[in-house]
Amino acid sequence: MIKVGVFGASGRVGKLLIEDLKATEGMSLSSVFVRNELDFAIDPSVLVTSDMRSFLLGCDLVIDFSLPEACEALLEEAIKHPKPLVVGTTGLSAHQLNLLKQASDNMPVLYATNMSLGVALLSKLVHMASARLEGFDIEIVEMHHRHKKDAPSGTALTLAQSAAAGRGLDLDSVRVSGRDGNIGARTKEEISVMALRGGDIVGRHTVGFYNDGEFIELNHTATSRNTFSKGALRAGSWLVKQPSGLYSIADCLEL
């Protein structure tokens, strides 16, 4: 039985993780990290703590869906008390991504800005299309619920990275994330990533390849957040069997 620690337990995805764990064979919830009191009932056998060290020692696997600053604090502590770690938090800074890399020297770490099978496959398709559709303009649009804090979404940036890699481009040099005013015509190489926010949209990503006379749009829509919680649990059960290193969702799904 894999003992799972949930970091970000009171969040939208964290709560689903706790629910999904009840029906997951071979895994059980053993610890949750909280800053304040939990606002929902939890089995009394579960360790509920605001002490990061006790939280880490109380589980075999950590699943994190929190915020970048919180994830940073978790990584700093996990470096001292290594545990297999699935990180789903998006919007990580360069420093936080470096910490993730550093942590993976001593434990298996899987980082995925999107835990769904569909997006993992979409990312592959985008790479393929980008490489083959020479001269097509690439535009990415993402839509999320009104509460989402980071923009553009981590998933959109991952898809943009796949598109840039397909063309051998450095994303930071070609990414455009907004257009306003008399900015001139679109350049050939730019890859735009636009963010829309509203309502309760779980997550919608469209990667368009536009040319004169034709265009292709690849779209993924998440209709339930359980796609992410279930995906993270699947990733966790795979990760505990891996040696130290930094893994992607594509590694876990063998795509």
Strands 137-144 and 203-211, sheet pairing: antiparallel
* 152 near ligand NAD, judged by CB under 6 A: no
Among 31, 66, 130, 192, binds ligand NAD (CB under 6 A): 66
The distance of closest approach from Cβ of residue 72 to ligand NAD in the complex, given in angstroms and rounded to an integer, is 9
Residue in this structure with the two tokens 């943009």, named with its chain if needed: 160
Closer to ligand NAD by CB, 110 or 133: give it.
Answer: 110
Q: Report helix, strand or coil for 227.
A: helix
Q: Which two tokens stand for residue 15?
A: 């709560």
Among 112, 143, 160, 207, binds ligand NAD (CB under 6 A): 112
- CB of 232 within 8 A of CB of 88? yes
Among 2, 10, 47, 85, binds ligand NAD (CB under 6 A): 10
**Residue 101 among the catalytic residues:** no
Q: Report helix, strand or coil for 67.
A: coil
Cis before 82 (ω within 30): no
Catalytic residue of the set 127, 144, 220, 230: 144
Strands 85-87 and 2-7, sheet pairing: unpaired
Stretch that binds ligand NAD, among 53-61, 111-119, 170-178, 240-248 (CB under 6 A): 111-119
Interaction site with ligand NAD (CB under 6 A):
8-14, 35, 65-67, 69-70, 88-91, 112-115, 150, 228
- Catalytically active residues are 144, 148
